Chain A
Amino acid sequence: MSNFSWRLIPWGVVFIVIALSAISVINLHSTGIGTDSQVHVTQLIWLAAGSVLMFIVAMIDVRIIRQLIPTFYVMVIIALALVLVIGKEVNGSRRWLDLGFAGFQPSELAKLAVILSLAGWFHRVARPDGYGLGDLVPVAVLLGVPMFLVLKEPDLGHTLMLLFIGGTMVIFEKLQRRAFISIVLTALLIAPGLWTFVLHDYQKNRILTLLDSDGDKLRTGWHARQARIAVGSGGLLGKGHGSGTQVAGEFLPENHTDFVFAHLSEEHGFVGGSTVLLLYFLLVLSSLRAAARARDRFAAGVAIGVGALIFWHVLMNIGMVLNILPVTGVTLPLLSYGGTSALTVMCAIGLLLNIEVRRSMFQSRLS
């Protein structure tokens, strides 16, 4: 803590975060035009609070963070279990804990818990020749418990997010060839079973809808189709701020959360949409660079985990909006309205900053 210096902060990453936050607030402002909605103000408050959290996380000594991981992990698991019992039911699933002043989504924090716990484990258990199947049992447990609980909510999107983030981290570390092949084969074998026994009908429908979005305009296809219309009608420059008819006419559902990118593309067209995509790409690239230059396994694990978090969120969300992936309730980092999501992402980026600051300190000490 005492060695922290503002000078060492990678300001490029901070700039991207600020840019995305600004875009988020502006974009949310337009979804609320003509209504009493103040989502952009609330989002601004969350993002501001998140930024503070981001810098705090960036400043904490990494050893303290590492020591806190088990506690944090257990607390998240408890919260996930709790949400199944006393969670607020919205649209048939329990994802929210009511804290009185605000709702809170433990599944968001589960991602941080997975990133940190896996990175901690990689840090402690090094296998220069790659991890075997036996080594991966603890990983499977660390990943499997929160996944199971999130799937129970049910929240397929976040379950997959946990799997993808964990999977990316494992693959970034070296995996024995045999272990890799076994995992892939097992996955292929249990996939049909998952389809039949685990997925709910509405989840299957969403996947089927993706294959034939015109076939079912009014029910499951509605979201995807309206998103496609919103994006497509945007053209090069978009309809202009506040002129998106898809949102104003209430055609585009979830327009300030999951489908916020559709609204952005409608009003700001290809220019707006691709700018946002490039910003995310740069953010992912920064994480990967941090992982490549990491000074220890924990730092590498965290960096790759944060990068994976951003990457998979963006891919799943925008892929859904652009009608190439099924509809899942995965948010777009920073842009989607939501406190827990904003704080989680800010926290994750705080971790990234922390690593980068520490690496610079190490390098500056060497030089």
Chain B
Amino acid sequence: MRIQGELPVAAYRRRAVRFSLVALAVCMILIGRLAYLQFVEGPTLKMVSSSNYVRTKRLPAQRGSILDRNGAVLAVHEPAFGLAFQPYLLKDDDIPTLIEELKKIFDETEGGKNNVKKDAVRTIHYLDLVKQLKLPRGADRFVPVPFLVDGKRKILNRKQVAQIESLRATISGILVDQRYMRRYPQNEHKYEDEDDKPWKLGAHLLGYLGRPTAAEIRANPRYHVDSMLGRAGLERRLENDLAGKDGFERYVVSASGREQKPDVAWVKKAMKGIVPREDPKRGFDVELTIDSTMQRILTNAMSGRDSGAAVVIEVETGAILGIVSKPTYDPNVWSGRLTRRRKQAIDNDPHKPMVDKSVQAYFPGSVYKVVTAFAAMDLGMLDPLELIESPGAYEFGNRTFHCHKRSGHGRINLARALSASADVYFYKLGEQIGIDRLAQYGRRFGFGRRTGLSINGESKGLMPTKAYHDETTPGGYQYGLALSTAVGQGDVRTTPLQVAVAYAALANGGRVLKPYVVNRVIRSDGSIVRESKPTVVDTLADHIQFLDSINEGLRQAVHDEEFGTGYLAAVKDGLIGGKTGTAQVRKLGRGRNRHVIRHFRERDHAWFAAFAPYDAPKIAVVVFIEHGGSGGKQAAPVIRKILEKYHRNFTLFAQAETAQSEDSR
């Protein structure tokens, strides 16, 4: 073996040491970097690591039901079936077949003879399918894609569900998914053009659901893009009770986005310390004071009237038995199934279907005279038996105030003044009382403030005062305004619900009640969250004799066949008290509206307010027909229909009287 004499041993040693130092430095750098990643960035990267694989799926809560006083379902959240595609399972080769099959399914089940839009439906489905089957690739392909029509998730009927389920045997990548959908079983319709059918009960009261806005989603963690929340009516007011609380489910996915089985070891370890699931909490059920039968009676009685409202409340409690507004709408459609075309049609309807007229304020006309009468007696200005000259017109200042009956009424007492609705009688009272005191008494009856039902933008109404007129009326307050106010004209505005509360007070001995519609809020286990009790807001009971005098006039208004303006409301079965109202509507300025609409807008409002039975009052009923014409001619018959049907269903009047009516039928 050759030994190399010139081997630079010392130089090798020196370089080896230098190289070792370099290696050491590199080793330290790598260890340092390792430490940096694991200790400094570690906590962040740990979270990133878990967000790599943990996904959260929202489990929507079932919204509580709304029930009537007898437990009949008015609104229910129930599973609705839709079609969804699973991109990662869907084979490209299957897509043409799938389109054909689905077209067939939808055409067969929806292209029936009755559906005039058959061709349109077919085209929409076809184009939608072709467009929607361009499915996502990448990690998104594990998320099912719902099938939409008009941008809305298509709800399948039972037949379609069955057919799609059987299609699944041959084509992979489609599924029937289930989501909650709000249904208002008493408001359903089959075709779009049947908005105004008698079975649509109290849409305005119930309201409907809608999607949250971006701001609402940001402000309230309860809401997601997929949520539905109450947008109107009780759905909105009772949102917190009804909504419940969404749950969630967490699961582990791989990098490709595929869900992993929970029993695999790494999945178990990855889920350690992570709450895997929270069950959704169902919302509370709400039982209303409403009676579906009452709603049906009101809706039927109002049929043929274009626009208006009808309210029935219990005089003893203030519980609302029925409340409807016309025209109505279909809350099923509004809760996520509304097409733009349909919405436009509703928005352009001059009768404003979306406005809840039961809580909007209108000129009350003569139904308001009871307030004037009470005020005059309470102020000691009027003896109900005193005979007062009530001609056909009243000169006041440089103006002439006419009575609706130009020939006048002669010398009459309060009862006659009310029954015949003698305007001059009340002009005289109004002149004495003055506008501010009239407003005060109006407020005591519950006018000019919200009743507290708090739905659909309930109006306060308006009790005009001197100050009010000084501020808003051109030329300021004039004494003549007190006269118009006394007969429910001028600027007085009341809601049908307020009128019902006032007439209930007349009937129950002077207790002005807070009307309520929610009887009980109930947990799903049946226990009670909240229960409503009658609330007395104000009382007029100190002078019960004044109320009796007024009620006598109200009785005569209906049952005095010679002079009573409300005789068309007379029920054969028993006595009632009631008052007509025919409110003149101020001429509106020249609008761009079509002729027909302007004509509609210039007609008087027809009112009728009543309580029954006269001797032992149970209910107060108010009918308001917007621009309906004369209260005695238009509103009174509606009251009669309501009371007769109510009696037939619930025996309103005492037995003896009932027997009488049975004979006459």
Contact = CB atoms under 8 A, between A and B. Distances in A.
Interface of A: 33-34, 63, 126, 128, 168, 172, 174, 226, 228-236, 239-240, 242-246, 248-251, 265, 269-270, 273-274, 277-278, 280-281, 284-285, 288-289, 291-292, 294-297, 300, 304, 307, 311, 314-315, 318-319, 322-324
B23 A281 contact: yes
B253 interface: yes
B16 A291 contact: yes
B7 interface: yes
Interface in B456-486: none
B354 interface: no
B17 interface: yes
Given A232-B41, A234-B38, A295-B3, A284 B23 contact: yes
Given A240-B269, A242-B265, A233 B49 contact: yes
A244 B53 CA distance: 12
Given A288-B19, A297-B4, A307-B19, A324 B38 contact: no
A245 B16 contact: no
B273 interface: no
14 contacts: A229-B49, A232-B42, A233-B49, A242-B266, A244-B266, A245-B52, A249-B252, A250-B255, A270-B38, A274-B35, A277-B31, A292-B12, A297-B7, A322-B34
B45 to A, nearest CB: 3
Interface in B646-663: none
B44 interface: yes
A34 B19 contact: no
Contacts of B17: 292
A322 B35 CA distance: 10
Nearest to B20: A288
Given A231-B37, A235-B38, A296-B7, A249 B52 contact: yes
Contact of B12 (A249, A274, A294, A314): A294
Nearest to B31: A274
B37 A34 contact: no
B105 to A, nearest CB: 37
A243 B265 CA distance: 8
B38 A265 contact: yes
B411 interface: no
A230 B45 CA distance: 8
Contacts of A236: 38-39
B163 interface: no
B33 A322 contact: yes
A231 B40 CA distance: 12
Interface string B21-57: 0011011001101110111011011101110110000
Contact of B3 (A235, A296, A311): A296
A285 B255 CA distance: 40
Contacts of B6: 126, 128
Contact of A246 (B41, B44, B52): B52
Interface in B424-467: none
Contact of B42 (A128, A233, A304): A233
Contacts of A240: 269
Contacts of A128: 6, 8
Contacts of A230: 49
A270 B42 CA distance: 11
B187 to A, nearest CB: 49
B4 A243 contact: no
Contact of A322 (B2, B37, B265): B37
Nearest to B270: A245
Contacts of B41: 228, 232
B15 to A, nearest CB: 6
Contacts of B42: 232-235
B533 to A, nearest CB: 57
A158 B205 CA distance: 78
B34 A265 contact: yes
Contact of B4 (A126, A235, A242, A315): A126
A278 B34 CA distance: 13
Contacts of A295: 3, 7
A281 B13 CA distance: 18
Per DSSP, chain B at the interface is helix
Contact of A291 (B12, B49, B50, B252): B12
Contacts of B34: 231, 265, 270, 273-274, 277, 322
- 3 smallest beta-carbon distances between A and B, as pairs: A232-B45, A292-B16, A248-B266
A307 B46 CA distance: 35
A315 B26 contact: yes
A33 B46 contact: no
B114 to A, nearest CB: 52
Contacts of A269: 38
Given A240-B269, A281-B27, A228 B38 contact: no
B4 A296 contact: yes
Nearest to B51: A229
A229 B52 contact: yes
B39 A174 contact: no
A311 B16 contact: no
Contacts of B255: 226, 249-251
Nearest to A244: B266
B71 to A, nearest CB: 51
Contact of A281 (B24, B253, B267): B24
B535 interface: no
B48 A229 contact: yes
A242 B39 CA distance: 21
B240 interface: no
Interface string B359-378: 00000000000000000000
Given A33-B265, A128-B8, A288 B49 contact: no
A176 B198 CA distance: 107
B48 A245 contact: no
A232 B4 contact: no
Contacts of B50: 245
Contacts of B26: 311, 315
A274 B38 CA distance: 11
B38 A231 contact: yes
B156 to A, nearest CB: 35
A9 B536 CA distance: 105
Nearest to A230: B49
B116 interface: no
Contacts of A323: 37
Contact of A232 (B15, B23, B37, B266): B37
Nearest to B4: A296
Interface string B238-272: 00000000000000111110001000111101100
A249 B254 contact: yes
B48 A285 contact: no
B596 interface: no
B225 interface: no
Nearest to A171: B15
B345 interface: no
B215 interface: no
A319 to B, nearest CB: 7
B219 interface: no
